[in-house]
Structure 1
Amino acid sequence: LPYLSDQLQELYPAVRQKLSKALRTWKPSETMDALPMLKAWKPVFGTKAWDKFTSAVVMPKLEGALAGLEIDPKNKPDTSRLVRVIGWSDIVSHRMMCAMLRELFFPKLLQSLFTWLTGNPEFDEVVEWYEGWKGLFP
């Protein structure tokens, strides 16, 4: 696709529309199926158009997946949602990914950690729990 990008330029709006339609039912909290489909188009569209597309179509889905993430030290963490979201870091801009994590993930993590630490925790457990979450990031 990158080799034909100039010849296909006039088709890009239609392609983006079809991709948007295909992603309507996609749930990033459940599957990574859409990733390979979109990965092929990233180098073709150009940074500005790609960021606009992912901001409108992909990011709301990833934000929804993170919004449903529960972080509770009392329960074994289900990290699959976060792993799937982070898996998109090659597709969405680092700026958008960082902003989303800063807004939707880290406040939950820090609040859970704060609540746990204000009790009388076993600090070895706290370190293990924290290191587990930290280890999910590249």
Structure 2
Amino acid sequence: MFDFIETGRGIQILYQYAEQEIVESDFFDLPAEGYQQLSEIEQEQKWYMINPEKLNKNYIEERAYLIVNEREKYILLRAVKFINSVSEKVDSSFLEKLLYAKHCIPDCFSSTSRKTKNSDSRMIQLYPPHPSGDKN
């Protein structure tokens, strides 16, 4: 039962942030400056940035990265596996498969409500915005 809830939470994160399928190689080690933004206790965990090219473009424009710890990485990969298995007959993009998989889970997992905030994944900015407002 707990695995189902965790997988549902992973689907919820993907539904909220992903534009493309996320695979193992899309998890990059968080650089040292990223760890400096975490609490002392959080710095003891292993953290990853998710490939920004796979995420909603709004986060790239804000120079923000979605970071996850080891546990959340595993949950997200398990959620992708679930999505692919329930939508194997759907021959289209990952987003369309994600929308199809939404019909196989309770509505609470496809909600993007702020009430479902998870402390294991978060958005951080690694590089401050340019003073001129130029994002390049």
- TM-score tier (shorter): under 0.3
Structure with greater strand share of residues: 2
Higher relative contact order (CA 8 A, sep 6+): 2
Structure with greater helix share of residues: 1
| Pair member with larger Rg | 1
